[in-house]
Amino acid sequence: MASAKTIEIVKATVPVLAVHGEAITKTFYQLLFERNPSLKNVFNMTHQVHGTQPRALANAVYAYAANIENPAVLAKAITQITQKHTSLSVTPEMYNIVGTNLLEAIKIVLGDAATDDIINAWAEAYQELANLLIGIEENIYQEAEKAEGGYRGQKSYTIVKKEEDSSIITSFYLKPSDNTAIPTFKAGQYVAVNVSIPRAEHTHTRNYSLSGCTTQNTLRISVKKETGNPAGVVSNYLHEKAQVGDTINLGIPAGEFVLEPTQKPIVLIAGGVGITPLMSMYMHLFHHAENEVLFIQCAKNGAVHAFDQRSRQLADKKKSLKVISIYDEPSATDQPNYQGLLTSEILEANISSLDAEYYFCGPVPFMKQVKQMLLALEIPEGQLHYEFFGPSGDL
């Protein structure tokens, strides 16, 4: 536990962080990558361009300062952070590098206001948090190593199958290059994919949800080709260049967006490529559970809708499963169950009880709409489970 003086000083800086937190974290990342360019291999640099990662870190630092006396309040956030760190193979040495640059960023942004007392207090507070995270992450690494097919850090995988699942989503089936078993994972988890792209200044790392299940002898990731501005560096490389027989490196499976044990009905609500972790959950439920399951798949149209036929084939084999599709811009040949947006009326018409566990994933506006609808139906917030693709935010 940090000293009483440190706690007092850190809590006194909370108003300052509310104003300058994002400036501090932007300065921190600039220093970090200038001095340690090899860390660009670990971070998703697109999140730096968009500003989402500095903003997420600023929010995390603010939350830590505000709750330094009671870190249990941050248990969920700490779980998310340690899962993400272990997927990226973060080491204790990296914490030392981060701490040095974070303290310097505070000095630069706050100037003379960053007194020795403030810097010393934040140094102690940071080390306290770092030790906590390092300990949790070491436990995760050890559990991963002990599990069937387990390992620490990254491992080489070979692409054994490449399959187009929609006009914008392609699946890659991966096997360990050393022909060992695939690692154990929970439905809904993700892996960090590290690829070397010709002529790129560094390797690129992205997290992709595992879209298959443990009954398969491969790991499957299903990647949406990002064609925006800027276009997705890794997704476009995988779609256009990666071929069967190529190798890529994967971190250990990680993530806390997983099915919780329940006897209640389970509703899976997918928006676009958010279907990937939910497809993994759906396949797990097909093989291992008897819950009533409603799988709601929302997409623009049939051309971009992945896994539609496969999910319906599974529902045909098990009466407890039901799949419905909702397209907001269906083509002339599409035959979705519904057109437009998901509504409470659609939900109520397709599930025996609204007292269910809800898992949803997709673009942030989509998830906001789903969450608001479920809360309006008086579904307890503890029964709502969702995942952000990228740095966590608020709905």
Known catalytic residue: 359?
Answer: no
DSSP label at residue 261: P
Residue 215 — very low, low, confident or very high, per pLDDT cuts 50/70/90? confident
Which residue is it, tokens 């501005």? Answer: 229
Euclidean distance between CA atoms 42 and 250, whole angstroms: 12
Does 391 have pLDDT greater than 80?
no
Which tens digits make up the pLDDT trace of 109-149? 999 999 999 999 999 989 988 999 999 999 999 999 999 99
For residue 239, the tally of other CB atoms under 10 A from its CB is 20
Active-site residue identified among 64, 95, 126, 157: 95
Euclidean distance between CA atoms 369 and 376, whole angstroms: 11
Residue 390 — very low, low, confident or very high, per pLDDT cuts 50/70/90? low
What does the mean pLDDT of the chain come to?
A: 91
Residue 60's pLDDT is what? 81
Residue 180 — very low, low, confident or very high, per pLDDT cuts 50/70/90? very high
Q: H/E element holding 157?
A: strand 155-164
| Single-letter amino acid, residue 380 | P
Known catalytic residue: 126?
Answer: no
Does 246 have pLDDT greater than 90?
yes
How far, CA to CA in Å, does 341 sit from each of 90, 214, 301, 322? 40, 32, 12, 18
Taking the alpha carbons of 90, 92, 93, 96 in that order, is the dihedral positive or negative?
Answer: positive
Work out the average pLDDT over 241-263: 96
Domains belonging to the chain, first-starting first, are 4-146 (1.10.490.10), 155-250 (2.40.30.10), 266-387 (3.40.50.80)
Residue 46 — very low, low, confident or very high, per pLDDT cuts 50/70/90? low
Which residue is it, tokens 């800027």? Answer: 230
Work out the average pLDDT over 156-183: 96
267 neighbors 294 (Cβ within 8 angstroms): yes
Nearest to 224 by CA among 270, 255, 282, 177: 270
Does 322 have pLDDT greater than 80?
yes
Residue 194 — very low, low, confident or very high, per pLDDT cuts 50/70/90? very high
Residue 386 — very low, low, confident or very high, per pLDDT cuts 50/70/90? very high
Residue 52's pLDDT is what? 65
Active-site residue identified among 22, 137, 357, 387: 137
Euclidean distance between CA atoms 241 and 235, whole angstroms: 10
Residue 327's pLDDT is what? 98
Residue 47's pLDDT is what? 59
Which tens digits make up the pLDDT trace of 332-350? 999 999 999 999 999 999 9
Euclidean distance between CA atoms 325 and 338, whole angstroms: 6
Which tens digits make up the pLDDT trace of 72-96? 888 888 998 899 999 999 999 999 9
Does 229 have pLDDT greater than 80?
no
